[in-house]
Structure 1
Amino acid sequence: MFSGKEIGNIKGLSEKEVSERLRQHGYNEIHSQKKRNVFLIFFNVVKEPMLLLLIGCGTIYFFLGEHKDALMLLSFVLVVVGITFYQERKTERTLEALRDLSSPRALVIRNSEQKRIAGREVVKDDIIVIKEGDRVPADAVVLSSSNLSVDESLLTGESVPARKSDWDGKEISKHPGGEDLPFVYSGTLVIAGRGIAKVLSIGTHTEMGKIGKSLQGIREEDTLLKKETGKIVRNFSIAGAILCLLIILIYGFTRGDWLNGILSGLTLSMAMLPEEFPVVLIIFLTLGAWRISKSQVLTRRAPAIETLGAATVLCTDKTGTLTLNAMHLTTLCVKNVYYDVDTKKVNSLPEVVHDLVEYGILASQKDPFDPIEKEVKRLGEFYLSDSEHMHNSWRIIKEYPLSKVLLALSHVWESPDKQNYIISTKGSPEAIADLCHFSQFQQNEMSVCIEEMANRGLRVLGVARAFFKKTDLPDAQHDFHFEFVGLLGFIDPVRATVPASVREAHEAGMRVIMITGDYSGTAIYVAKQIGLENPEQCITGLELEVMDHLQLRERIKTVNVFARVVPEQKLLIVNALKANGAVVAMTGDGVNDAPALKSANVGIAMGGRGTDVAREASALVLLNDDFSSIVHAVKLGRR
């Protein structure tokens, strides 16, 4: 709960106003696809060419008086529908559980009181209160905030949290992406800070809702299996029709018995049709779905298993699929000397870096939610738990938040003797250099260190400290005399199983392409780590913007790394690969990934961190978000 002072004179909506808005705009929810009931499943199954053939044969046999044969053929259809229904219901139950886990709640101000409600009950013009750990319930404009950072990767594909600023009343773009925008979006996660915002859009009118609605304009391509069975049915039907016609003509002209000729022709043409084929096919596909479920891959559409086995290109996200999606503090830099944390023995962190870890913790929240702050604290507790560098009993006196002009935040702590203040700050290296009043020589030295760390795929933060006599604290961080402490290097480690899985994919003749919203330096580093082909060649989102379709089709033949890509551009990449004749499997987790997932030959959604929209647009759902599970599923699909 926020204090009354922070809320000020905000009253929020009255219950009468809430009821009126609910009546006008409805609930804050995106209507997902209708649950597939027995009749819908039956309709979708019997649309398959082979089953239409079975039904046609059974009907003809019935009218010919061959009731036993007719019942046998139609019973095959019921067996196929029964197996498919069981598989679909099993999948729907799992997806329902995932939806329940991702259903957000909201803290709103109504009648001058804070109350927590279900996210679907948020209405337009509601005042919402958000803090770290909260899922934003609707699109809203930020009225006031403190150090507010939001993970918008579901909408933008960018793994780095976006900083938010307060709205100044000016009209600016409301689209997600970019720093210091005063807007937050439905479904995104607050990583740090807190804020008060006014709801602008709910339900299908949010950015998330618009993407879900746009899926209706994308036509799903028939699977390879459906195309092949269609050809078989057509060929058998033509052959059967020709044979039937020949028998009729022979009977008619040689015996003059046209009726028996028709019956004999129909019987012979029916006999040559492979009516057992659909049953055998669906049984094998169901067995395939069961097998790949053991690899944490959930099947939403059974024919996709065969298409997955035929895939020639696998497009995958980086964060969370190839990597752990967990920031690890691996490198400490003090006085231009690097210390690799991973190679140090337990309790043997060099004394020279103790201050860096200490002030990194002091520049973080006492009970952090931000993954980076949690990692700094974890490292400190692991190495320095029994030392004078840990200050669990200290009290924060004041906090200086990040701003547009200075990307650093400071915490002011009261010293144990209560006579002085200790100030710890962390932020972008450039901001820390500014606070420490670096000379040009010092800035050049730092730039070399930052470049070295960036080339190793590290995200770099600077740390500084200051001391202040106990008196009135200044208004700005620049009024302290900061001393530079060092640099912290974080990395999202590659999953241990990924390099071997990429090698397996290459050996099986499958090309692996990494598409990420991260920086090109980080993308190239990860590409080298996992063993992608031509890792140095990279196409960025900016290059994609100016590239036409033909240019992209040519470049994409050799490039396997795409960086700073927004999810809308994933659709361009998928279409270019398909235009080159590739069978494309595509992974995705965000709402904006859904069009690309639906357009790909096989869409694979993330189950753990994915959205409902992405899951419903996909044919397969990856429950553990692990790349190696996809490769294993491909191997099973080829059996």
Structure 2
Amino acid sequence: MNDAPALRGRIAFQPMRGGLDTAEAERRLARDGANELPTARRRGFFVRTLAVLREPMFLLLGAATTLYLVLGDLGEALVLSASVAVVVGITLRQAGKSERALDALRDLSTPQASVLRDGDRVRIDARRLVTGDVVVLGEGDRVPADARLIEATQLGIDESLLTGEASPAPKGTCAPSAEAEAAPTRDDHVYRGTLVVHGYALAEVVATGARTAVGRIGASLERTNPPRSTLQREIDRAVIVFAAAGLGLCASVTLLYALLRGGWIDALLAGVTLAIANVPEEFPVVLTVFLALGAWRLARERVLTRRIPAIETLGAITVLCVDKTGTLTENRMRIAALRQSGAAWDVAAGVPIGAEFDDLLVRALMACRIDPTDPMERAIVEAAAPRAGAGERTLVREYPLMPGLFARTQVWRTPAGLVGACSGAPEAIADLCRLAPARRESMLADVAVLARHGLRVIAIGALEHPVSLPLPERQDALAFVEAGLVAFADPLREGVAAAVAEATAAGIDVVMLTGDFPETATAIARQAGIDVGDGPLAGAALSVLDDAQLAAICAHRRVFARVTPEHKLRLVEALRARGEIVAMTGDGVNDAPALKAADVGIAMGRRGTDVAREAAALVLLDDDFVSIVRGIRRGRTIHDNIVRAMRYILAVHVPIMGMALLPLLTGGPLVLWPIHIVFLELVIDPACALVFEREPAAGDVMRRPPRDPHRTVLGLRLLAGGVLDGALMLAASAFVYATARALRCPDAGVAAATFVALVVGNVGLIALNRGSGLLHKRNHAFWIVAAGTASVLAATLGLPQLGHLFRFEAPPAGVLALAAGLPLAALVPLFVARTRASAPAAGHA
């Protein structure tokens, strides 16, 4: 569409100007700034560093550094400080990755605005709107800036954001005047953040960003903090419990050391070391990094995450309710058949549409908006525009869809008088045209034949209205005559049948919802592989069922036809009443309640309204069902990886705590000091943030049932599994410790051998928790971490200066071989058992 007057049939009465030119818009953008409200500034490097240093582990490390200075051991204090700086750097890098991922998601989810630039209608980032821009507003749009109406058709705006009034405010244009310019609010203005409930308009932007009405109120609307998710609260509780236990152990060990060995400074160092070993600061880091980067990876799968906690729910979905048109099908309509007064045309005949169908097509065109976005209307415009002639036509009245009447009407003024057309569901058009029972039966029989071939069918009615008579308030008071039927072919999307089969294998019931005729729904469902079962349930039959009956029906019905947004909401509630975890797709304004009611609301990114996208937790950037299934696969993988990381964190802290405490209880030489804990953190942190986050999906990720959403992640099974894994490593390390002492190795040699066992066991626990496909799943991060760890460990044993800092002395070759081999040998039975298991432990923990 290359000129603004082409929009006239949709919303306007007179030719329109073409908006700003691009160069002028860029100048105004540079002058006024972006069209965005003030938001909380991104934290600077100093603030982020300070936040990291306030974490309990770093406070404890700071205390240890201070104790070394009190002892006069400047070298130990400097080394510990340098090591802490490295760990802080890694932590800041992880936080930076999370923030960059979230920034990328915010950029993807930035609202778009339809605007006239250089005479063309284009969609741009709403942040680039400037004063003077002409925006196009339609039903379901969120107003992107304060603007003065230029032209409007039956425009109603929900201004509850500003006024608190629930009912839509009617809007229209009025002549400019000094009084109107001075008024603070006017009926011919629309305001940023308000919602177009019905109608269409062109409006000129008069204020952007902080200069809008919402911007003047304040930025609090943009700074609402969402509640923490179930998993976040669970992790918060776990960290508090472990931290409290760590402080208790710290006090106990300090007292025990002082009583048994004397020396309060050394006692404090031993206590602090054990406390550091016990604080699981990796838990919140894992959750933050995994969910943020997981949302970024989902966006690469064409699924935009608007609410990060929704990722936790993806793996628990049991029912997936999807629209047919545009989600299962391509939403790329073409006219496939026409029926009119006994005449028939089918695209399969291979001949052009004959002139006898001109009136039907022109009437269908009258029922369409000019410059339409609906694919059916586009197909009609393409076929009918050459037949419509050049006569002048002005839109007088539009009658939208009504509850219980699936039809819409447009009335036009032409030189010959008032003419119009209605289009919609055949049964609705039959009612509007007041067809005799026999003719109605004949029409619906034709519809059924076309629908059984998977075609989407609408009926068209024609209107001639006397100029002398006023138009009624309702379209069913007009006098229509039957014009005919238009049938559209909308092919199934590539890959849908395979995606439905994958979802079914994953224990997810796919339910198809459509406003189409039942026969069309049945045909498409069979092509997609959706269980038709007892056939589709029509919306009229659904309406008469009570909630209990509907819940019972949902147990075995998978196809619903002729449904409305109200039906969608009832279906979601009925399914959830049965204990299902429901994902629901939607695109319209009226779909918002169902999207909010679902456990995971999924809005259409291309054809969806702003309201639907705001109500949903996820947005499909390509409106494709295949992307939903890929998103579920990704969500399950993210959850699996969180569980793997959590189990590893629990396991790895057991031998560290054990070997910090065991020497105190046995009277042997201490193995772990703060410098050693920091070294181990340099292995643990990358393992969590890099290795497990990048772990590919398990082979059975889409062959197991959905997880129970009520089962806590840090449940008894995970805790027991992690503690048992760690206890095995503790036993191996303790055996190495005892063997080295029995062979009368020097204290530094005992410490070195035991530390080698701890580090090797740490890497072994990473491998164990990666899952059964260690050698088959590509994850370069694991091998990088393993190689880096081995290199640094070898340096601490081979370089005397580094060995001195770690208080190490190279043990005998036999003891060293035992330290390197025993932890891995101890894990072999566990690895074999998990490989043979039907499903990975991580997936069910």
TM-score by length of 1: 0.59
Picking from 381, 391, 408, the partner of 1:396 is 391
Q: Does 1:85 align with 2:96?
A: yes
Amino acid at match of 2:565: V
**1:598-617 pair list within 5 angstroms:** 606-609=604-607
Distance 1:78 1:442, change over 3 A: same
**Alignment check: 8 A CA contact 2:369 2:377 kept:** no
- SS across alignment from 1:488: strand
- SS across alignment from 2:335: strand
Q: Does 1:101 align with 2:99?
A: no
- CA drift of 1:99 comes to 3.5
Match of 2:272 in 1: 266
Picking from 365, 369, 374, the partner of 2:372 is 369
**Alignment check: 8 A CA contact 1:538 1:560 kept:** no
Larger fraction in helix: 2
Distance 1:63 1:533, change over 3 A: farther
Matched length: 546
In the alignment, the residues of structure 1 paired with residue 500 and residue 49 of structure 2 have an alpha-carbon distance, to the nearest angstrom, of 39
**1:369-388 pair list within 5 angstroms:** 369=372, 371=374, 372-379=376-383
Distance 1:121 1:589, change over 3 A: farther
Unpaired stretches in structure 2, ≥5 consecutive residues: 15-34, 69-76, 118-127, 162-169, 174-188, 401-406, 473-477, 638-696, 698-845
Distance 1:475 1:523, change over 3 A: same
- SS across alignment from 2:337: strand
In the alignment, the residues of structure 2 paired with residue 269 and residue 573 of structure 1 have an alpha-carbon distance, to the nearest angstrom, of 49
CA offsets per residue over residues 370-397 of structure 1, 9 Å max, x none?
644431232458xxxxxxxx546x3325
- CA drift of 1:586 comes to 5.6
In the alignment, the residues of structure 1 paired with residue 46 and residue 542 of structure 2 have an alpha-carbon distance, to the nearest angstrom, of 43
In the alignment, the residues of structure 2 paired with residue 44 and residue 314 of structure 1 have an alpha-carbon distance, to the nearest angstrom, of 44
**Alignment check: 8 A CA contact 1:458 1:489 kept:** yes
Q: Which shows bigger deviation, 619-628 or 596-605? A: 596-605
Amino acid at match of 2:504: H
- SS across alignment from 2:381: helix
Distance 1:501 1:353, change over 3 A: farther
- CA drift of 1:295 comes to 2.0
Match of 1:501 in 2: 499
In the alignment, the residues of structure 1 paired with residue 479 and residue 274 of structure 2 have an alpha-carbon distance, to the nearest angstrom, of 97
- CA drift of 1:267 comes to 1.2
Match of 1:331 in 2: 337
Match of 1:565 in 2: 565
In the alignment, the residues of structure 2 paired with residue 587 and residue 431 of structure 1 have an alpha-carbon distance, to the nearest angstrom, of 25
- CA drift of 1:222 comes to 1.5
Match of 2:786 in 1: none
**Alignment check: 8 A CA contact 1:568 1:592 kept:** no
Picking from 220, 227, 248, the partner of 2:227 is 220
- SS across alignment from 2:536: coil
Distance 1:536 1:575, change over 3 A: closer
**1:47-58 pair list within 5 angstroms:** 52=55, 54-58=57-61
- CA drift of 1:507 comes to 1.0
- SS across alignment from 2:494: coil
Amino acid at match of 2:253: I
Match of 1:22 in 2: none
**1:414-429 pair list within 5 angstroms:** 427=423
Amino acid at match of 2:390: R
Amino acid at match of 1:507: A
CA offsets per residue over residues 466-525 of structure 1, 9 Å max, x none?
9x9xxx9886999x9998552113476553333322221121223445577x47959955
**Alignment check: 8 A CA contact 2:360 2:484 kept:** no
Picking from 632, 635, 644, the partner of 1:634 is 632
**Alignment check: 8 A CA contact 1:591 1:614 kept:** yes
**Alignment check: 8 A CA contact 2:140 2:588 kept:** no
% identical aligned pairs: 32
Amino acid at match of 1:377: V
**Alignment check: 8 A CA contact 2:360 2:483 kept:** no
**Alignment check: 8 A CA contact 1:295 1:632 kept:** yes
CA offsets per residue over residues 552-581 of structure 1, 9 Å max, x none?
8877666666742359948x947974x876
- SS across alignment from 2:501: helix
- SS across alignment from 1:396: coil
**Alignment check: 8 A CA contact 1:502 1:532 kept:** no
**1:75-474 pair list within 5 angstroms:** 75-89=86-100, 91-92=102-103, 95-96=106-107, 99=110, 101-102=112-113, 220-222=227-229, 224=231, 226=232, 229-230=235-236, 233=239, 236-237=242-243, 240-241=246-247, 243-255=249-261, 260-272=266-278, 288=294, 291-298=297-304, 305=311, 307-314=313-320, 316=322, 320-325=326-331, 327-335=333-341, 340-341=346-347, 344=348, 346-347=350-351, 351=354, 354-355=357-358, 358-360=361-363, 363=366, 368-369=371-372, 371=374, 372-379=376-383, 390-391=386-387, 394-396=389-391, 427=423, 439-449=436-446, 458-462=456-460
- CA drift of 1:447 comes to 4.6
Q: Which has the higher contact order (CA 8 A, sep 6+)?
A: 1
Amino acid at match of 2:536: E
Distance 1:335 1:74, change over 3 A: farther
Distance 1:460 1:75, change over 3 A: same
Unpaired stretches in structure 1, ≥5 consecutive residues: 9-28, 107-117, 156-163, 168-182, 382-389, 415-419
Amino acid at match of 2:391: I
- CA drift of 1:62 comes to 4.2
TM-score by length of 2: 0.47
In the alignment, the residues of structure 1 paired with residue 578 and residue 507 of structure 2 have an alpha-carbon distance, to the nearest angstrom, of 16
